[in-house]
Amino acid sequence: MQRIKYLIILIFGIFVLNACEYDFIEPPKPIPPDPTDTISFKTEVVPIFGEQGCLVCHSGTINPDLTVANAYQSIMNNNLVDIDNPELSIIYTKPVPGGSHPNTYTPDQSAVVLVWIQQGANDN
Ligand code: HEC
């Protein structure tokens, strides 16, 4: 009888200890673009503006105009790219993750934009 009691306590104990175990959910790591890959403005940078809701405001009235047809010209005409100091480019710093702009890039989108500038900010 005594043994059964211990056994029950033991089994119960295992359950209790098990309940304390929890899985850490790793936040997804940003995937930085491979700097040896060429970033395409049209297929990688421009879609970010749509995905992040930038077009709600930046579709013509507020500079830059980030619509597919005008994004490149508008970014260049408003001097939002600093080729010599890519990390100072306004198109990179203004919507930086965690920044105060109404909408921001995700960390991986931010990296895509930076690498695109580092590669010469081409209309590719
Ligand atoms: C709720 C409206 C709104 C949204 C959404 C928004 N912006 Fe803006 N953005 C503005 C306003 C207003 C300004 C001008 C005032 C300022 O500089 O903050 C501005 C300014 C900027 C500038 C600086 C322009 C300059 O000439 O200095 C950049 C770059 C920019 N936005 C990029 C973005 C990007 C990229 C997104 C999406 C991730 C975005 N914005 C989302 C309203 C918005």
Ligand 1 mean position, distance from CA 73 (Å) = 16
CA distance 80 to 1: 80
Ligand 1 mean position, distance from CA 65 (Å) = 10
b/e for 25-59, b at 16 or more Cβ within 10 A?
eeeeeeeebeeeeebebeebbbebbeebebbeebe
Ligand 1 atom index nearest CA of 49: 37
Neighbours of 18 (CB within 10 A): 8
Please tell me the predicted confidence (pLDDT) of residue 117.
Answer: 97
Please tell me the predicted confidence (pLDDT) of residue 96.
Answer: 97
Q: Which residue has the tokens 């010599």?
A: 84
Q: Block means of pLDDT (10 residues each) for the chain, length 124 residues?
A: 74 66 62 78 97 97 97 98 98 97 97 96 98
Please tell me the predicted confidence (pLDDT) of residue 36.
Answer: 77
Ligand 1 mean position, distance from CA 92 (Å) = 11
Please tell me the predicted confidence (pLDDT) of residue 37.
Answer: 84
Q: And the tokens for 77?
A: 């005409």
Does the Cβ of 94 fall within 6 Å of ligand 1?
yes
